[in-house]
Structure 1
Amino acid sequence: MHVLILGGTTEARRLAEILEDRAPRLRVTTSLAGRVTAPRLPPGEVRVGGFGGAGGLAAWLRAHRVDALVDATHPFARTISAHAAEAAAGTGVPLLAVRRPGWVPEAGDDWHEAGSLAEAAGLLPALGRRVFLTTGRTGLAAFAHLDTIRFLVRSVDAPEAPHPRHMEVVLDRGPFTLDGERALLRRHRIDVLVTKDSGGAATAAKLRAAREAGLPVVVVRRPPLPEGVRCAADPDEAAHWLLTHGR
Structure 2
Amino acid sequence: MHVLILGGTMEARRLAELLTAGTGLRVTTSLAGRVAAPRLPPGEVRVGGFGGVEGLAGWLREHEVDALIDATHPFAGRISFNAAKAAAATHVALLALRRPGWVPVAGDDWHEVRSLEGAAEVLPTLGRRVFLTTGRMGLAAFAALEDLWFLVRSVDAPEPPHPPRMEVLLDRGPFTLDGEREVLSRHRIDVVVTKDSGGAATVPKLTAAREAGLPVVVVRRPPVPEGVPVVTGPEQAVGWIAEQTGLPDACRNLT
- Could you tell me the TM-score, scaled by structure 2's length? 0.96
Counterpart of 2:17, as a letter, is E
* Equivalent residue, structure 2, for 1:233: 232
Q: Counterpart of 1:21 in 2: which secondary structure? A: coil
Distance in 2 (CA, whole Å) between partners of 1:39 and 1:236 is 23
* Equivalent residue, structure 2, for 1:204: 203
Once the two structures are superposed, the pairs formed by residues 186-225 of structure 1 within 5 Å of their partners are 186-225=185-224
Distance in 2 (CA, whole Å) between partners of 1:245 and 1:22 is 19
Once the two structures are superposed, the pairs formed by residues 5-24 of structure 1 within 5 Å of their partners are 5-21=5-21, 23=23
Once the two structures are superposed, the pairs formed by residues 1-247 of structure 1 within 5 Å of their partners are 1-21=1-21, 23=23, 25-247=24-246
Distance in 1 (CA, whole Å) between partners of 2:149 and 2:33 is 30
Deviation at 1:22, TM superposition (A): 5.2
Deviation at 1:20, TM superposition (A): 1.3
Deviations 1:208-234 (A, max 9, x none): 000000000000000001100011111
Distance in 2 (CA, whole Å) between partners of 1:243 and 1:8 is 23
Deviations 1:78-98 (A, max 9, x none): 000000000001000000000
Distance in 1 (CA, whole Å) between partners of 2:219 and 2:177 is 21
Deviation at 1:46, TM superposition (A): 0.2
Deviation at 1:197, TM superposition (A): 0.1
Counterpart of 1:198, as a letter, is S
Counterpart of 1:106, as a letter, is V
Counterpart of 2:8, as a letter, is G
Deviation at 1:21, TM superposition (A): 1.6
Identity of aligned residues (%): 74
Unpaired segments ≥5 residues, structure 1:
none
Counterpart of 1:161, as a letter, is P
Deviations 1:26-63 (A, max 9, x none): 00000000010000000000000000001100000000
Unpaired segments ≥5 residues, structure 2:
247-255
Counterpart of 1:16, as a letter, is A
Deviation at 1:243, TM superposition (A): 2.2
Aligned length: 246
Distance in 1 (CA, whole Å) between partners of 2:183 and 2:94 is 40
Deviations 1:154-184 (A, max 9, x none): 0000000000000000000000000000000
| RMSD, aligned CA | 0.6
Distance in 2 (CA, whole Å) between partners of 1:206 and 1:69 is 33
Distance in 2 (CA, whole Å) between partners of 1:147 and 1:236 is 46
Deviation at 1:246, TM superposition (A): 2.5
